[in-house]
Amino acid sequence: MNREQKRHQPTRCAASPSLALVKYWGKQAGGVNLPATTSIAVTLSHLETITEVRLVDSRDKQCIRVAGCLQDSERYSPFFDNLRATLDHDNWFEVDSINSFPTGAGLASSSSAFAALAFGCTRALGKPVSSGELSRIARVGSGSAARAVYGGFTRLSAGAQQAEQIAPQQHWSDLRVVIAVVDSGPKPISSRSAMSRSAETSIYYRNWIDSSEDLAQLAERAILRRDIEALGSAMRQSYLRMFCTMFTAEPPIVYWLPESVAVIRACERLRHSGIPAWETMDAGPQVKVVTTARWSGRVAEALSRETGNGEILVVGAGAEPRLIGTGAVT
Ligand code: DP6
């Protein structure tokens, strides 16, 4: 293969989304996507963004497509500008990406999208970097993507430039996340705008920030001990406090649907009958329920009763981004 052919050879890779168990919601000043709260997360198995990156020779050829749809290049410029400065290169990229799960619907697709993009670009440039460096690069695209460059369990500390792994994928192999997709359409408002509106207008935002570190520590210790009850109770406080800042924003932000509430109630009934089923939600109506392998079938059954025809996915802790060779993704 000559140099020119090699240059146009696509790099194909996959990354999985990072589900926050304790949430990142709000940014600190003084950097791009510097989190105001410490988040604790698990990278999910089975769900993937698959991204193909090609080097192109000029800025006007640079483009990003998701499922064949051309994306607004402005959204990606901080990412590419930072990549250029960090890796000291002057290349441009043609990117095609698809998700194996609903996009922009509160299933953390921006975390896997920017983790895959960061991974793909560094590989396409022939400049592989450490996981920490990859995490910093991905964070500039999306805060939650800083976590998705690792497999297993992660922490992104308040004010940190990069996330870190707190336990590998195998650490808690019987942990399961049952996802009730109650509505797979795109969300009415992006998490980025919702986050900034909450910060600017909710009277509870300060309390949210001040109380988040304790929850992160509780959750991290619970993960290390594989204590699902302690993890579940920290998770529950985290998502409900986060939503308090949204419900009290001006104008209020309400991602929840009646089915979301029905699933939350079903989880409460499951717990009363002795089944671990601890829910969390993000910027969308889907409900993600943490349980164990033993109970995941029962939990999935209970959730599907509440969601009508909604899709139910059962996943576990997943792996870090991977290279999957070459080929077209669309
Ligand atoms: C509710 O990472 O999408 O999923 O940094 O502005 O791109 P930006 O936000 P993003 O927000 C994630 C919010 C969340 C919680 C979380 O993943 O921690």
* Interval between CA 140 and ligand 1 midpoint (Å): 12
Residue-wise pLDDT tens digits, 23-46:
999 999 999 999 999 999 999 999
Question: In the predicted model, is pLDDT for residue 328 greater than 70?
Answer: no
Counting every residue written for the chain, the total comes to 330
Residue-wise pLDDT tens digits, 263-285:
999 999 999 999 999 999 999 99
- Contact call for residues 161 and 136 (beta carbons, < 8 A): yes
Helical packing angle, 109-124 and 131-141, nearest 10°: 120
Question: Strand 164-167 and strand 175-181: pairing?
Answer: unpaired
Say yes or no: CB of residue 110 within 6 Å of ligand 1: yes
Residue-wise pLDDT tens digits, 44-70:
999 999 999 999 989 999 999 999 999
Say yes or no: CB of residue 24 within 6 Å of ligand 1: yes
Question: In the predicted model, is pLDDT for residue 310 greater than 90?
Answer: no
Q: Residue 6 — pLDDT band, cuts 50, 70, 90?
A: low
* Interval between CA 24 and ligand 1 midpoint (Å): 6
- What global pTM score does this model have? 0.95
Hey, what amino acid is at 313? L
Strand partners, 289: 178, 279
- Contact call for residues 316 and 252 (beta carbons, < 8 A): no
CA nearest to 315, candidates 74, 100, 89, 136: 100
Burial of 128: CB neighbours in 10 Å, binned 0-12, 13-18, 19+? exposed
CA nearest to 41, candidates 212, 248, 307, 223: 223
Say yes or no: CB of residue 106 within 6 Å of ligand 1: no
Say yes or no: CB of residue 33 within 6 Å of ligand 1: yes
**Rg of the chain in Å (alpha carbons):** 19
* Interval between CA 287 and ligand 1 midpoint (Å): 16
- Which tokens go with 211? 């109380």
